[in-house]
Amino acid sequence: MNTLQTILFVAPVLLFSVIAHEYAHGYAALRQGDPTAFQLGRLTWNPVKHIDPFMTLLLPAVLLVATHGQMVLGGAKPVPVNPRNYRRFKRGDIIVSLAGVTANLAIAIGCAVAIVLVGLVGRAAPALGTTFSILQVMLTYGIWLNLLLIAFNLIPIPPLDGSHVMKYLLPARWAVHYQAFARYGVIVLVALLYFGGSLLTAWMAPAFRVADLLLRAVNPFVLPGVQQWGPQ
């Protein structure tokens, strides 16, 4: 499948997934006592409110072109939160930080269930086979992308979600310096994406394994046309 076709399949799935990730952060923060995202109009599904020029547009495009459609990763504009508003600071910080990856896990599982349902309907209505095959391809990408988003966001490099859990596992003095490292986090992440191939692959390996297990489980329900539209 050529790069342009991959973009057409991947873009809406990735956009929905990263928006759901950020929405989950904002909703969890609201439930923990912080209305910041809600008050600033960020607790919304409107994609315009969540688009970040680098993470949502530039990074995915560069990765898709550079890898000839074999790899894509991106993110949305971070939802603003104020941890000082949480009713219980530490508990709230951890819950809000993990809300995004929890949403991505739910989407990945939901995509697997949807592949089964679409396959059953597609076999019952052969005339819609092409449409349902394309939908299954997008759902397959939904599994891969959301599991990769989970693994990526759990990398313990500030300001990623994993760092908000890691800091509580460190001695207080180390945690202060660790959080201060956030100012260089984006630079480190970009360097990791471009130069840390083997390290990043090893970190992502569990996500690949879970995705493979889910896809094997739903494979009996995959329509024949998926091979035509799916990644080669």
Query: Per the structure block, which two tokens stand in for 67?
Result: 């890898």
Mean pLDDT calculated for residue range 22-37: 96
Mean pLDDT calculated for residue range 86-115: 96
Distance CA(79)–CA(50), nearest Å, equals 8
pLDDT of residue 228: 59
Encoded amino acid at 174, one letter: W
Instruction: Tell me the pTM.
Output: 0.88
pLDDT of residue 181: 81
Which of 40-49, 110-119, 120-129 is modeled with the greatest confidence?
110-119
Distance CA(39)–CA(158), nearest Å, equals 25
Mean pLDDT calculated for residue range 169-197: 83
Percent of the chain with pLDDT over 90: 56
Asked which of 58-72, 148-162, 172-186, 215-229 is least confident by mean pLDDT, the reply is 58-72
Name the catalytic one among 19, 22, 25, 162. Answer: 22
Distance CA(107)–CA(124), nearest Å, equals 25
Tally of domains within the chain: 1
Asked, as a colleague might, if the bond just before 159 is cis with ω within 30 of 0, I would say yes
Mean pLDDT calculated for residue range 116-133: 89
Local confidence band at 224 (pLDDT 50, 70, 90 cut-offs): confident
Q: At what angle do helices 89-124 and 129-153 cross, to 10 degrees?
A: 160
Q: Is 15 a catalytic residue?
A: no
Domain extent, residue 158, equals: 3-229
Query: Per the structure block, which two tokens stand in for 219?
Result: 């494979």
Distance CA(14)–CA(52), nearest Å, equals 13
DSSP structure string for 54-100: IIIIIHHHHHHHHTTTS------PPPP--GGGSSSHHHHHHHHHHHH
